[in-house]
Amino acid sequence: MRIRFDGKTVVVSGAGHGFGRCIAETFAQLGARVFGCDLSAAELAETAKAGVQTEMLDLTDRAAAAAWIAQIERTTAGAVDVLVNNAGGVAGQEMRPIEEVPDADWDRIFAVNTGAAFTLSRAVATGMKRAGSGRIINISSGAGLGPSLTGIQAYCSAKGNGLRTEKKGKGHWLNGSP
């Protein structure tokens, strides 16, 4: 089987390292026009070597995240074909009992892991519907399947939100993967 993504626009969040970089590079190797974002300019510079167009972006800034998608759609003169919501993590949190977790720490983890995916998904939805196709892939974690083993309860809760798989109408799918 030969899979190609020639002529397709792919967006990958968290593309600076790890899974995100690998996903972005692979789509680029398969012919897609790939756009990736992350917080680290140095890490994005490495990703860009594979032909990925990169942007340093804090996805917890919802207006900036939506503006980035709008810019991509203007640049490509079309809808995003594939969105990979990969950005996430523990946002610098450390293990502590739940009764000691400040609201701001809890909220930051949800903003990074759940809010960013929602914002990017909402931003691509109109274009995908207009085009009659599109795929949104949410990268999650097995941490969302059970209680926290790390003492970072918000991470488990946020990742549990990412494990949902739901058909979103004709030609539109939301895929979650643990």
3-state secondary structure 59-84: CCCHHHHHHHHHHHHHHHCCCCCEEE
Catalytic: which of 27, 35, 110, 155?
155
User: Residue 157 belongs to what H/E stretch?
Assistant: helix 153-161
Answer yes or no: 39 catalytic. no
User: In this structure, is the dihedral angle defined by the CA atoms of residues 177, 73, 131 and 123, taken in order, positive or negative?
Assistant: positive
Phi, psi for 127 (deg, rounded to 5): -65, -40
Catalytic residue annotation: 155
